Amino acid sequence: MFAVPVSHASAGAQSVEPTDSYIVVLASRDDIDEVSADVARAGGSVGSVYRYAVGGFSARLTASQVTALLGDARVASVSRNKRVRKRAVVPAAQGDVLYHLDRIDQRALPLDGVYGPPATGEGVQIYMIDTGVRATHVDLAGRVIHGADVVGPDERGVPATPADDCDGHGTHTAALAAGTEHGVAKRATIVAVRVLDCYGEGDVDSVIRGIDWVIKHHRSGSLAVANLSLGVESSYGACVDIFAPGVRLLSAGIDSDTAEQTLTGTSMASPLVAGYVALIGETDPTACPEAVHEAVMARATKDVVKNAGTGSPNLLLNVSDASAVGASVPGTPSALVSSPLSDGVVVSWDPGCNGGAPNGVTNVRVYRDADPDPIRTATVRDASRIVLRGLEGDATYRVSVRRKTANGVSEWSEKSIAVSPSEVTTGGKVRTSSLAFSTEAKVRGTWSIGDEQKWNCRFTPAEAAAPGGSGTGKRIVYDRSSRRLFAIDADNQVVRSTTVVGTTTPPVTGRYRVTRTSKGFSATGSAGVLGFREIVDEFLPESLGAAASNDDVFLPPPDGKWFRSFVTKTKLLVIVS
């Protein structure tokens, strides 16, 4: 147990120790809630909680509290929350236009004045963890998704959304990665994740929160790449993987939708590599990160970088080969979520990349309470969930899985959060505080019932938590952390709860039509699909089974009657993913 003694300077005066901001990383994600609660009880001020990038939290702590945490077996590390900033950027006079593209698609000089990439990056998302992105710029228009803003607007209220940029750094780097004119992957999609302010500065806490959001929201089963053109020190020597052009690079600016500016810095080199990974992702979407990394290194041009520095690898980015990277060991499954049943639990997970071997099996280990040895093992084929029955209700259970294909075996995943077999009943409250920085879609319009069309309303996604204590009637809230769909009233009281099993996709702006099918209801739309692969009624465990489609929303009977009644009376639908 984490505890800090309180000392008194005298009977009439108590000494006050100064505090500072720290990042606390735990040995196991299972202990996040317990350790953060212990810190709060001991007088520490807990800030952000990280559940995906790392398991831990930020907190303001005294030196005594830091010492106590370092002596806690549940704690892996405690480090000061450092300031970070965009990588050194030097404005420069415009040099050779698009030199950076011309140089990276050929190995030898002289340059031929042509950029001819073997792919476009279409279908691949590039997460720009930076200062935001000017989404309306002609170089990126139509290919920028509002991601997250963990910094928030400044005192002027700027910027209004993460798909905006009050510094310029994020827009410049985004266009280098995926700009129609200036970029490597000209059809890739940019997801704006704002972690730096209008001066290009932030801290480690903000960066981890941004990465946490990316991992939580990335859709399963497809390759994506994240770019961070920021740091606390310079990058050179043995820590460098590869070089790319970074001097006098012309790219998009923020003064207008057609603005350009020329900048110099390591910030400019990084997105070129991110763009190349997007090219590979288009041709080999199931590739694993380790295999992609190896391919980027192997395909680089060797021994052409001048003054690379002692210990630096003399490798220059080359994008002329975007072919499939080949077979590799499958990735480690992640994001395990357990939901209780009356006599067991249902566990789902993100299977991760398959390394070029789509068929295979998943090994499952079940652990009881704190026992380090599994009490049960199982094997499932081509699945991302398992129903475990016959478990005792007075114990808690955790599950770990690994994937096995013809190419090899992954590492064992981290264990799922411990749960006990029990029915989830109505009357509880949805913890809306855990839904911060989630995508919220509000549906307004005329509700109607018919055999062919259930509703046709416009979705307007916005970055916000599910509203609490506001409005009237009921709302539907989906909490990705528990993969449960809740029907809640204006006071966040649970009216109905349903387990959601399978991968999810956040809703996107567009018009949708929900139709009745033989199995329930399906939702389709012109701008994309509404993303629940499968919704399983928790009061009907035997309905666990295959969904009719990966693209539709199905609520199997007897939920149909309840759902029809719900949509005729509900004026606001909130889906948080």
Number of Cβ within 10 Å of residue 426's Cβ equals 12
Q: Which of 218-222, 358-362, 565-569 has the lowest mean pLDDT?
A: 565-569
Nearest to 81 by CA among 55, 60, 53: 60
Same domain, 136 and 198: yes
Q: Are residues 442 and 501 in the same domain?
A: yes
Same domain, 255 and 340: no
pLDDT-derived band at 330 (thresholds 50, 70, 90) equals: very high
Q: Which of 147-156, 308-317, 537-546 has the highest mean predicted lDDT (pLDDT)?
A: 308-317
Query: Do 443 and 363 share a structural domain?
Result: no
Domain assignment of residue 11, yes or no: no
440 inside domain? yes
Q: Is residue 1 part of a domain?
A: no
Residue ending a domain, among 59, 81, 103, is 81
pLDDT in tens, 355-387: 888 788 999 999 999 898 999 999 988 778 888
Judge whether 75 lies within some domain. Answer: yes
Residue 547, pLDDT > 90, answer: no
Task: Summarize pLDDT for 29-79 with one digit per residue, the tens.
Answer: 878 989 999 999 999 999 999 988 889 999 999 999 999 999 999 999 999
Q: Are strands 531-532 and 249-252 parallel, antiparallel or unpaired?
A: unpaired
Q: Picking from 157-166, 300-309, 429-438, which range would have the lowest pLDDT averaged per residue?
A: 429-438
Mean pLDDT score across all residues of the chain: 74
| Residue 89 placed within a domain | yes
Task: Tell me the mean pLDDT in the region 231-240.
Answer: 71
Q: Is residue 66 part of a domain?
A: yes
User: Mind telling me the catalytic residues?
Assistant: 130, 169, 267
401 and 531 fall within a common domain: no
Q: Residue 366 sits in a domain of what CATH number?
A: 2.60.40.10
Tell me the backbone φ, ψ of residue 66, rounded to 5 degrees. -65, -45
Residue 380: give the domain boundaries.
334-409
Average pLDDT of the segment spanning 242-254 = 94
Q: 364 and 454, same structural domain?
A: no
**Domain harbouring 296, CATH code:** 3.40.50.200
- Check which CATH number belongs to the domain holding 517 and give it: 2.40.440
Say how far residue 349 (Cα) sits from the centre of its chain. Answer: 15
State the pLDDT at residue 548. 30
Same domain, 134 and 66: no
Dist CA 560 CA 521 (whole Å): 8
- Give the integer Cα–Cα distance in Å for 53 and 230: 17
The percentage of residues in the chain with a pLDDT greater than 70, rounded to a whole number, is: 65
The answer to whether residues 286 and 280 touch, using CB atoms and an 8 Å cutoff, is no
Comparing 246 with 335, the larger pLDDT belongs to 246
Whether 54 is in a domain gets the answer: yes
Give the pLDDT of residue 310. 86
- Least Cα distance to 88 among 300, 273, 223, 246 occurs for 246
DSSP string, 458-489: EEEEEE-PPP-S-SSS-EEEEETTTTEEEEE-
Among 123-132, 144-153, 227-236, which stretch is predicted with the lowest mean pLDDT? 227-236
Band of pLDDT at residue 399, cut at 50, 70 and 90 = very high
Number of folded domains that form the chain: 4
Q: Examine the pLDDT at 481 and tell me if it is beyond 90.
A: no
Q: Output the pLDDT for position 517.
A: 47
Q: Does one domain contain both 183 and 299?
A: yes
Cis peptide bond prior to 118, omega within 30° of 0 = no
Give the pLDDT score at 297.
Answer: 97
Q: Of how many residues is the chain composed?
A: 577
Number of H helices, E strands in the chain: 8, 35
pLDDT of residue 188: 96
502 pLDDT higher than 90: no
Q: Which of 111-125, 242-256, 277-291, 468-482 is predicted with the least confidence, judged by mean pLDDT?
A: 468-482
> Domain of 56: which CATH number?
3.30.70.80
Neighbour-count burial of 275, counting CB atoms closer than 10 A to its CB (0-12 exposed, 13-18 middle, 19+ buried): buried
For residues 395 and 467, state if they share a domain.
no
Whether residues 398 and 285 fall in one domain: no
Is residue 416 in a domain? no
d(CA 316, CA 299): 9
Q: Which of 61, 81, 101 is the last residue of a domain?
A: 81
Q: Please, is 439 exposed, middle or buried when counting C-beta atoms within 10 Å of its C-beta (0-12, 13-18, 19+)?
A: buried
How far is residue 84 from each of residues 171, 202, 207, 230, 239, measured CA to CA in Å?
18, 5, 9, 7, 18
Residues 467 and 548 in one domain: yes
* 364 plus 239 within the same structural domain: no
**Quick one: pLDDT band at residue 286, thresholds 50, 70, 90?**
confident
For residue 300, name the pLDDT band (cuts at 50, 70, 90). Answer: very high
Structural domain ending residue among the three candidates 409, 424, 443: 409
First to last CA, the chain: 34
